[in-house]
Amino acid sequence: TLRMRVPSLLVLLFCFRGSAGPSPHFLQQPEDLVVLLGEEARLPCALGAYWGLVQWTKSGLALGGQRDLPGWSRYWISGNAANGQHDLHIRPVELEDEASYECQATQAGLRSRPAQLHVLVPPEAPQVLGGPSVSLVAGVPANLTCRSHGDARPTPELLWFRDGVRLDGTTFHQTLLKEGTPGSVESTLTLTPFSHDDGATLVCRARSQALPAGRDTAITLSLQYPPEVTLSASPHTVQEGEKVIFLCQATAQPPVTGYRWAKGGSPVLGARGPRLEVVADASFLTEPVSCEVSNAVGSANRSTALDVLFGPILQAKPEPVSVDLGEDASFSCAWRGNPLPRVTWTRRGGAQVLGSGATLRLPSVEPEDAGDYVCRAEPGLSGLGGGAAEARLTVNAPPVVTALHSAPAFLRGPARLQCLVFASPAPDAVVWSWDEGFLEAGSQGRFLVETFPAPESRGGLGPGLISVLHISGTQESDFSRSFNCSARNRLGEGGARASLGRRDLLPTVRIVAGVAAATTTLLMVITGVALCCWRHGKASASFSEQKNPMRIPRSSDGSSSRGPEEEETGSREDRGPIVHTDHSDLVLEEEGTLETKDPTNGYYKVRGVSPPTSPDSCVTSLQWKSPGISNLP
Residue 314 has φ and ψ, to the nearest 5°, of -75, 125
For the stretch 77-126, pLDDT in tens is 999 988 999 999 999 999 999 999 999 998 888 999 999 999 998 888 99
Handedness of CA 37, 40, 45, 50 (dihedral sign): positive
d(CA 130, CA 219): 9
d(CA 371, CA 357): 20
Q: What percent of the chain has pLDDT over 90?
A: 43
CA 215 to chain CA centroid, Å, is: 63
d(CA 264, CA 459): 43
d(CA 231, CA 617): 129
Which of the four pLDDT bands, split at 50, 70 and 90, describes residue 261? very high
For residue 465, the one-letter residue type is: L
Strand, coil or helix: 198: coil
| Confidence check: pLDDT of 515 > 50 | yes
How far apart, in Å, do the first and last CA atoms of the chain sit? 207
Q: How big is the chain, counted in residues?
A: 633
Phi/psi zone of residue 601: left (φ > 0), alpha (ψ -120 to 50 degrees), beta?
Answer: left
- Average pLDDT in the 497-511 region? 74
d(CA 454, CA 423): 12
Q: Which domains, ranges and CATH numbers included, belong to the chain?
A: 25-120 (2.60.40.10), 122-305 (2.60.40.10), 312-395 (2.60.40.10), 405-499 (2.60.40.10)
CA–CA distances in Å: residue 196 to residues 167, 264, 521:
17, 30, 127
Instruction: Return the DSSP state at 409.
Output: B
Q: For the purposes of burial, counting CB atoms within 10 Å of the CB of 451, is it exposed (0-12), middle (13-18) or buried (19 or more)?
A: middle
Q: Which residues contact 567 (CB under 8 A, 6 or more apart)?
A: none
Q: What percent of the chain has pLDDT over 70?
A: 76
Residue 4 has φ and ψ, to the nearest 5°, of -80, -20
For the stretch 535-548, pLDDT in tens is 666 544 443 333 34
d(CA 437, CA 449): 13
Strand, coil or helix: 324: strand
Strand, coil or helix: 219: strand
**Is residue 28 a contact partner of residue 42, using CB atoms and an 8 Å limit?**
no
> Please, what is the Cα angle at 510 between 509 and 513, to 5 degrees?
85
Provide the pLDDT for residue 424: 84
| Confidence check: pLDDT of 8 > 90 | no
Q: Cis omega (within 30 of 0) on the bond before 92?
A: yes
Provide the pLDDT for residue 301: 93
For 64-169, strand residue ranges (E) read 75-78, 87-90, 100-105, 110-111, 115-120, 127-128, 133-137, 142-149, 157-162, 165-166
For the stretch 40-69, pLDDT in tens is 999 999 999 998 899 999 999 999 888 999
Q: Which residues contact 392 (CB under 8 A, 6 or more apart)?
A: 320, 321, 371, 372, 373, 459, 460
DSSP state letters, 17-32? HHHHSPPPEEEE----
d(CA 586, CA 595): 9
DSSP state letters, 413-447? S-EEEEEEEEEESPPSEEEEEETTEEESSEEETTE
d(CA 553, CA 293): 111
**Alpha-carbon dihedral angle through residues 543, 549, 550, 555, given to the nearest 10 degrees:** -150
Residue 8 has φ and ψ, to the nearest 5°, of -65, -35
**Is residue 373 a contact partner of residue 337, using CB atoms and an 8 Å limit?**
no
Choose among 225, 275, 232, 220: nearest CA to 255.
225
d(CA 65, CA 72): 12
- Is the pTM higher than 0.75? The answer reads no
Choose among 235, 254, 253: nearest CA to 245.
235
d(CA 622, CA 333): 91
Strand, coil or helix: 81: helix
**Is residue 371 a contact partner of residue 350, using CB atoms and an 8 Å limit?**
no
Q: Which residues contact 143 (CB under 8 A, 6 or more apart)?
A: 188, 189, 190
Which of the four pLDDT bands, split at 50, 70 and 90, describes residue 387? confident
d(CA 453, CA 440): 15
Provide the pLDDT for residue 622: 36
Minimum mean pLDDT range among 331-335, 471-475, 512-516, 595-599: 595-599
Minimum mean pLDDT range among 23-32, 62-71, 490-499, 576-585: 576-585
Minimum mean pLDDT range among 6-20, 101-115, 300-314: 6-20
**Is residue 595 a contact partner of residue 589, using CB atoms and an 8 Å limit?**
yes
**Is residue 493 a contact partner of residue 430, using CB atoms and an 8 Å limit?**
no
Average pLDDT, rounded, for the chain = 79
Which of the four pLDDT bands, split at 50, 70 and 90, describes residue 524? confident
Minimum mean pLDDT range among 97-111, 309-323, 394-408, 591-605: 591-605
Instruction: Return the DSSP state at 179.
Output: T
d(CA 319, CA 583): 56
Q: Which residues contact 194 (CB under 8 A, 6 or more apart)?
A: 138, 139, 223, 225
| Confidence check: pLDDT of 259 > 50 | yes
Provide the pLDDT for residue 604: 35
For residue 68, the one-letter residue type is: D
- Average pLDDT in the 188-212 region? 89
**Is residue 93 a contact partner of residue 38, using CB atoms and an 8 Å limit?**
yes
DSSP state letters, 37-67? TTS-EEE--EEES--S-EEEEETTEE--SST
d(CA 254, CA 364): 72
